[in-house]
């Protein structure tokens, strides 16, 4: 199967503590979460780097999901390692340490086939690298980009340049206010759209997510979970479900984007149910469809 979409981002090991327990060196990274989730919907290629300590079992996990690894490199050194913890309310994680290791000198490699993909997702990496990738991909139908508060404060000029080149901007509520300079989301939306993207996806954690264009607004609730284990990677999983759906259907109408929002919400919730990517060791397409239908039913107006 031809690679239809690529993701460029981090491959990492996470050491974390949540109210449900601890994990040492769990498989993580923005590109890893995105690619694993998107693989349920389309053929996806991963562009990332790991060190010589990256386990063969984790490479096999990605291959088992059909993730194309032509853009993945293993180089001398240690894999990017993040350590953090979550409080009782599972709010934003407290970071204890960030060791970039081989990721510090990450230079995305795009094989020829990757330069022809229809869908491109730029995960949370330096805006200059995001721009570099955009310049290498020939004629993508859709470019999605994620960012975070660190780049908003440390690389704003580069971020503003790359935003003029993307179709969909992903960020959370706090980042939307920070980047726009506004105090209310209602005024942040038009300010962000003026920066270049045609569409926003604003993630709001347990409340759900909003997608907005200059003319439309659509809100999807978060799938109600009876128990959360680990919210790490939920945002990247949302993006994987969202972009994966668009790549699978090719439907870039407003209805197509709204459908993608529901799949994004479903996949973000699946990730939170277990540590790391453990959910995806057994998750089936049937379970995904059942969750999508449950979310769709929640939005039905009688």
CATH code, 252: 3.40.1190.20
Residue 217 has pLDDT above 90, yes or no: yes
Write out pLDDT tens, residues 119-178.
999 999 999 999 999 999 999 999 999 999 999 999 999 999 999 999 999 999 999 999
Q: What is the pTM of this model?
A: 0.97
Count of domains observed in the chain: 1
Tell me how far CA of residue 243 lies from CA of 5, 73, 141, 177, 211, in angstroms: 9, 23, 12, 24, 13
Bridge partners (DSSP) listed for residue 87: none
Q: Which one, of 146, 125, 126, 143, lies nearest residue 134 by Cα?
A: 143
Q: What number of residues does the chain have?
A: 302
Q: Whole domain around residue 221: which residue ranges?
A: 5-298
Query: Residues 19, 133: contact at Cβ < 8 Å?
Result: no
Percent of the chain having pLDDT more than 70? Answer: 100
């Amino acid at each position: 199967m031809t690679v239809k979409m690529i993701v460029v981002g981090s491959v990492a090991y996470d050491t974390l503590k949540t109210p449900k327990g601890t994990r040492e060196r769990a498989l993580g990274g923005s590109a890893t979460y995105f690619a694993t989730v998107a693989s349920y919907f389309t053929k996806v290629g991963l562009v990332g780097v790991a060190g010589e300590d990256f386990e063969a079992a984790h490479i096999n996990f990605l291959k088992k999901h059909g993730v194309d690894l032509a853009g993945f490199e293993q180089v001398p050194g240690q894999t990017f390692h993040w350590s953090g913890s979550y409080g009782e309310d599972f709010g934003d994680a407290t970071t204890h340490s960030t060791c970039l290791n081989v990721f510090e000198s990450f230079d995305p490699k795009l094989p020829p086939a990757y330069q022809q993909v229809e869908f491109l997702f730029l995960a949370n990496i330096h805006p200059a690298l995001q721009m570099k990738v955009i310049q290498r991909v020939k004629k993508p139908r859709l470019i999605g980009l994620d960012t975070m508060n660190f780049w908003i404060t440390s690389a704003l000029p580069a971020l503003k340049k790359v935003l003029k080149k993307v179709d969909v901007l992903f960020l959370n509520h706090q980042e939307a206010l920070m980047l726009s300079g506004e105090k209310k989301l209602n005024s942040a939306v038009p300010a962000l759209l003026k920066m270049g993207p045609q569409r926003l996806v604003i993630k709001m954690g347990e409340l759900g997510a909003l997608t907005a264009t200059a003319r439309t607004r659509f809100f999807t609730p978060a799938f109600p979970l009876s128990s959360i284990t680990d919210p790490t990677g939920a945002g990247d999983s949302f993006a994987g479900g969202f972009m994966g759906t668009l790549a699978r259907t090719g439907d870039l109408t407003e209805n197509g984007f709204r459908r993608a929002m529901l799949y994004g919400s479903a996949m973000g919730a699946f990730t939170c149910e277990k540590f790391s990517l453990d959910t995806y060791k057994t998750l089936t397409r049937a379970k995904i469809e059942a969750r999508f239908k449950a979310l769709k039913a929640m939005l039905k107006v009688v």
